[in-house]
Structure formats: C-alpha cells, structure tokens
Amino acid sequence: MPIYEYQAVRPDKGCRHCGRAFEVLQALQEPPLRRCPRCGAEIKKLVSLSHAVVVETPEKTRQTERKIRAYERSGMWSHAAELADAHAEKTKDKRLKARAKEAYRKAGYDIS
C-alpha cells in the first residue's frame, strides 16, 4: 500500500497534525482524504518526491565480476588482480581497485 502525504489547505487554520504535512497509508482504490482525521479541517493531497533509486549493472561488468570470482575461487590471484585492476581503471571503481590490490598481495606481489 502506498503512503500519501496530506496537508491542510490553510495550514494556519489546521491543527498541529495537518498544519504540517502528514502521511497516511492507503490502498490505491481508496478515495483521497478530504478532511483532517483529527480536527476536520479541509486537507489536500501533496505531490511528494520519490526517493527510490534503481541501479542497473551493465552486462559487461557482471561478466567481469563472474570471471574475477572464478579466478579467486581457483586461487589464480594474479589473474584476478589483473582483470580487476584493468576493469577498475575503465570504470573508476574504487571498491574494485581495492579488491585488485588485495588479489595482488595474495599473489605475492609487494603492493605499497
């Protein structure tokens, strides 16, 4: 069920509840509220900003991650390090760069 925001049409005439915006959990088929449930003042539904974020990972990145994991599971640390390092340079991924450094260390390289 979505959450809707409401506020008094005239905030100076509403109670503490509806004078500021308040939220109500309502089913999609429910009609919008017309009056404050506490004081009966006329209210309006507000348009609120969505804060949802969808991040999609490109297929090439997923393939690279799978290869790196496979190298790591096989103990092929230098292969994993080189692949992670190269991909981190292209994508500017700091997390992947740190992973590459760790793989280089496990492969026996002196990383300072």
> What is the chain's pLDDT, residue by residue, as a tens digit (112 residues)?
788 999 999 999 999 999 999 999 999 899 999 999 999 999 999 987 666 777 788 899 999 999 999 999 999 999 999 999 999 999 999 999 999 999 999 999 988 7
Burial state string for 51-79 with b = 16 or more CB within 10 A and e = fewer than 16: eeeeeeeeeeeeebbeebeebbeeebbeb
Reported pTM: 0.51
Q: What mean pLDDT is reported for the chain?
A: 91
